[in-house]
Chains A and B, each alone.
Chain A
Amino acid sequence: MSTESILRIENLRFSFMTYAGEIQAVRGISLEVKAGEVLGLVGESGCGKSVACKSILRLNPEDNGVYLPGSRILFEGKDVLTMSERELLRLRANDIRMVFQDPMTSLNPTMKVGKQIAEGILNAFPKMKRREAKELAIETLRDTGIPNAEKRYEQYPHQFSGGMRQRAMIALALAVKPKLLICDEPTTALDVTLQAQILDMLRSLQAKYQTAIIFITHDLGVVANIADHIAVMYAGKIMEYGNGQDIFYDPKHPYTWGVLQSVPPIDADTSVPLVPISGSPPDLFKPPIGCPFTARCPHAMEVCRQHYPSPQQASERHIVTCWLYHAYAPHVINPITNEEAVL
């Protein structure tokens, strides 16, 4: 694995301009993905993770949404947000692909599945012959674990089961061997056993094709398995970023603590009450000026309400944005490590 970073997001901000006002969906995100790496993007519904990732391909509606100035998305050095139409289409066709959440509705019901895959291939490689594209499509279908790939190629989406449809979607995306694959909650609509299978399949394909992956989910457990790095998102901002070891064994942000604590271990005592994070996420019409987690944070301080913390580095690639790590902050205990909370 090379240490080249292929994607750099810098201060991405995106808002929807509606009748009722401006909805600030993404409020300043910076991320980095290196070639062949898997980044897990975790957060609750509505925190902006989906919008952030669609921004990478500029798939957000641009007639009522706007990328605020200062946002940069650099793919291999080129800024996606200022690319020409032609460069953007090329980017989508060959370099970055996306898999969406709902396999039921993400495929055209009146077009054969194989044709939809081949369409993507031919669009990426215009010089390829029809037959070669078809063979490549069938081979990719096989790679994603679909039996009888030749037969399936000629079938329609409604003839596929849910799990198979999602595999087909993944095949569609990976057939062109993109440098980056973005998966937007690909297993949320499927049941747990399917989820495990899909994750396994993704892992092996990732190793085989050396594709970098951004995996969006609201379930920390899912990314534990597959991600090299994890970014925890809340209310349009990134709260903490680190690798699997950091996030699960030495998390620094109170939100991460809350998320980890709210998942009962499999052997939990059923008489002990669940520990949810109280309250609900802030309204993105008028987001708070300070740290968005203040209202629900057990360690909230006055400074959190008034100012937004700047990111602190705990190690080379472990970053946390929280006032608890400021010199003036009082001492608190990290509930996961049961030690004093320090960087």
Chain B
Amino acid sequence: MQSKTTCENNTNITPDLFTFIEPGTMDADLLTRPSLSYWKDAMRRYRKNKVAMAATLILAIIVLLAIFAPILSPFTFDENNWSISNQGPTREHPFGTDNLGRDLWVRCWEGARVSLSIGVLVALVNATLGILYGGISGFVGGRTDLIMMRICEVIGAVPQMLWVTLLVIVLKPGFLPIILALSATGWIGMARLFRGQVFSIKESEFVMASRCLGTGKLWIIFKHLVPNAISPILTSMAFAIPGAIFAEAFLSYIGLGLPLPLASWGNLSSNGANVFLTYPYQLIFPSILICITMLCFTLIGDALRDALDPRMRK
């Protein structure tokens, strides 16, 4: 066996380099990134998504206009003025006027208030009902769960719009009835979602680990269940809002929308559709608003889903 060899190629290898390094002088485990909490990390990822940020911005502008445009305008949404009926867009009436001479700019933004409120309220009610129902069903499990899910199945088997239609007929069209009708069946999806989350978390290993360490049940619920289970709910809500807006429009089209002179994007578009071939602008403006809003919510929903997915932490 040879003892040692020299290294031929390297000329700058000098004997003084062969001194031992003190242990601990090397910067060992350099943390590659500071660890962030779940929500902060999710927020950071959301903010990085430029498309979603743009959509959020646009949505914010729409909300602001919805709040302030009717206040700042000289016209009100139900001001009839036969002399200027069915006029196209002018400086005074940027969106034109409808068949009763009402200013459509104001009506559109009043409609925005109505439609957006319906959307948000329905999403909130659905989420709340869904979490309660799904939470109970999932947590209790067993027979109760079976029965509760069966009920969901039956109600869910009928196309949602059918239930909504029936309920609105029974309750007579109006702001509250529409919200009630849309909420009456919308919670099912959220309930199923939340229940699924509860199940998977109940059995999950980190809950078991937590219980091994002796933490109480309530603590488990808040620290573990809520953050994990809530994310798909939030994403669902983001998608539920445009769904509600669309549903309201649909109801208007089949004659069950908000009664005039109330304005909503739904009844504005359906009225506009009736006269579309002669006065296209009466449909174009509300439709564009609906489309932009729905688009924004879809993009935000997508971004939320990606941001809240803990497996995508980079």
- The interface-forming segment of A84-92, A125-133, A156-164, A299-307 is A299-307
A298 touches B18 (CB 8 A): no
Give bound CA distance, A280 to B30, whole Å.
10
> Which residue on chain B has the smallest CB distance to residue A294?
B26
Residues of A within 8 A of B14 (CB): 328
Determine if B18 and A295 form an interchain contact, defined as CB atoms under 8 angstroms apart.
no
Chain A binder among B2-10, B137-145, B170-178, B192-200 = B2-10
Residue of A nearest to B21 (CB): A300
Chain A residue, CB-CB nearest to B23: A298
Docked pose: A36 CA to B13 CA in angstroms: 41
* A interface, over-half SS: loop
- Interface size of A as a range: 20 to 34
Q: Kindly list chain A residues whose C-beta atoms are within 8 Å of the C-beta of B18.
A: 301-303, 323, 326, 328-330
Judge whether B28 is part of the interface by a CB distance below 8 angstroms. Answer: yes
- Can you name the residue of chain B whose Cβ is closest to the Cβ of A303? B17
Interface residue tally on B, bucketed by range:
20 to 34
The answer to whether B21 touches A294, judged by C-beta atoms less than 8 angstroms apart, is: yes
A310 neighbours in B (Cβ, 8 Å): 7, 9-10
Q: Evaluate whether A325 and B4 lie within 8 angstroms (CB atoms) in the complex, with A280-B29, A295-B28, A307-B13 already known.
A: yes
What residues of chain A lie closer than 8 Å to B10, measured between beta carbons?
307, 310
Kindly list chain A residues whose C-beta atoms are within 8 Å of the C-beta of B19: 301-302
B15, CB-defined interface residue at 8 Å: yes
| Contact yes or no, A301 B17, CB < 8 A | yes
In the complex, the answer to whether B20 meets A299 with C-beta atoms within 8 Å is yes
* Residues in chain B near residue A328, CB distance under 8 A: 13-15, 17-18
Docked complex Cα distance between A20 and B26 (Å): 25
B32 neighbours in A (Cβ, 8 Å): 283, 285
- Distance between Cα atoms of A305 and B18 in the complex (Å): 10
Binding site for A on B (CB under 8 A): 1-7, 9-10, 13-21, 23, 26-30, 32, 314
Would you give 15 A-B contacts (Cβ < 8 Å), ordered by A?
A: A278-B28, A279-B28, A280-B28, A301-B20, A302-B16, A302-B17, A315-B1, A326-B5, A326-B18, A327-B6, A328-B13, A328-B14, A328-B18, A329-B18, A342-B4
* Top-7 shortest CB links A-B: A303-B17, A328-B15, A295-B26, A327-B6, A328-B18, A300-B21, A327-B4
